[in-house]
A and B are shown apart, each in its own frame.
Chain A
């Protein structure tokens, strides 16, 4: 008979598994990292003339659009985290875990570790590629580090939504079906234009209530404005708010799913 295992032993082991699972699936990492870069390249060429609009905050569309690559990576965090969990459900691995004295909190935290690792890799890649493509970070090196921190918070926020969905999904395919819906939600934000330049009233209203706008603007402030406390507070606040909601729903889903006596 073994002693009751500590949460602090279980979390790192599950995190290790989650990171290894992510790292060993290039098919999951490559599209999740390159797709936002491809869109960045297309937008930077196609929408370059937007910089000549009166009031546009920068003359470099790459600098303006770079922030959105981080958010698009979040979409992949939803799908990836949700699919991984649904695969664990479908393949019975979840039952294997349930038969051990596992702490539910360790399961949730461990699952998000792979999302965190991927988020870190994506954020570093986007900053490097952005700088090579001519983007400028007004807040300097410190700003780049804060961008990475915010990008990780955003990945975890979206990842927690993926967990909440994955807890209630029996197949990875049902998680994947969310992809178009989330993408529409992202586009109804200030991703392509600053909110005050959006001419269509309903679009501007939706973008104003869409938390994605504030996460984009938080990242964008570091690229264009420099240090803007309000934009950063709103960006981190929205990310952490979504993370809290996602974790709450994931925990409720886990409670329903873990029917062990």
Chain B
């Protein structure tokens, strides 16, 4: 229940209603999205490049005024009370925006001073955070010499310096190696679980969304096409697929024939046949029996549970990987109009 001044006390959540952003040339980068992020949860915002993820983050962090709709972050309206929103949030945007000529400690000092922290407070908190993200040994080195993972970790530490209640992470692991990615996932999970920080995380990685997010919104062409917990979304598209690779690859067509009665055929590996099961995993024993009776020997049999890619496929008619490729091709051929003021 909002208080007299419209601020919801202790609210760390995010509420978005009909949010729209139209850029010059009429491009609707974000096209009327609604979403709700509960306090303390990790909300994953999944979609291909150009889907509208970063534009949404820029609006929610007050860096870009919405064309229509409304949004409240930590109880404050992003348009009417931008300063209060900025006080309550931290953000690590898509590009790790650091000055290559400054050290990590100097970044902390500058950021803390701009937030109005006392010298003692910013030194103490800065050192704690540098230590927490594992940069103590490099804290007095210029950031220009850091690896991508180190820059991302410093970016995260800077976003946390003033003790935000809501944290926006815009594709925080894009371009990172698996080790750096895993370290960042651990830190994000820790922030939500132990510190109660609400996290709005955009990503184009299915695995990241699946591992981290309590709730998920899938965005494509500026619209949210699916929302829910990862498990609920997968359960919605539901049925697992099974793929059989015969020992003799010449028997692939025979394998297709044998599998067809169990469900809808789907693309698999070139040597195998795959089908989306109509009645779930319990059909597995029957499939083996049928192949045995037909004397088609099986080299490999795999059961795939429904994935978030299946969810994306079901909701948009294309895979996330295909959508990425499409977005890249649009970028290369210049099909997408230039968006003035659009986030990178």
Contact = CB atoms under 8 A, between A and B. Distances in A.
B87 interface: yes
Contacts of B255: none
B116 A5 contact: yes
Given A95-B93, A96-B158, A259 B65 contact: yes
- Looking at chain B's contact residues, is the secondary structure mostly helix, strand, loop, or mixed? loop
Contact of A259 (B64, B96, B97, B117): B64
Interface in A19-56: 20-21, 24-25
A100 B86 contact: yes
Contacts of B87: 1-2, 101
B318 interface: no
Given A1-B87, A13-B109, A92-B93, A24 B101 contact: yes
Interface residues of A, number: 31
A9 B116 contact: yes
Given A10-B114, A99-B91, A261-B62, A92 B99 contact: no
Contacts of B86: 99-101, 260
A21 B65 contact: no
B175 interface: no
Interface size class of B (residues with CB under 8 A): 35 or more
B113 A13 contact: yes
Contact of B101 (A4, A9, A20, A96): A20
B325 interface: no
A3 B83 CA distance: 12
Interface string B73-107: 00000111011011101010111111101100010
A168 B176 CA distance: 32
B82 A261 contact: yes
Contacts of B110: 13-14, 16-17
B344 interface: yes
A97 B63 CA distance: 11
Contact of B114 (A21, A25, A101): A101
Q: Which 9 A-B pairs have CB atoms at the shortest separation, nearest pair first?
A: A92-B97, A5-B116, A261-B82, A100-B114, A13-B113, A92-B95, A2-B116, A24-B101, A96-B97
Interface of A: 1-6, 9-10, 13-14, 16-17, 20-21, 24-25, 91-102, 259-261
Interface of B: 61-65, 78-80, 82-83, 85-87, 89, 91, 93-99, 101-102, 106, 109-111, 113-117, 142, 158, 162, 341, 344
28 contacts: A2-B115, A2-B117, A5-B114, A9-B113, A10-B114, A13-B113, A17-B106, A20-B101, A21-B99, A21-B102, A25-B101, A91-B97, A92-B93, A92-B95, A93-B97, A93-B99, A94-B97, A95-B93, A96-B97, A99-B63, A99-B89, A100-B114, A101-B116, A259-B64, A260-B63, A260-B82, A261-B65, A261-B85
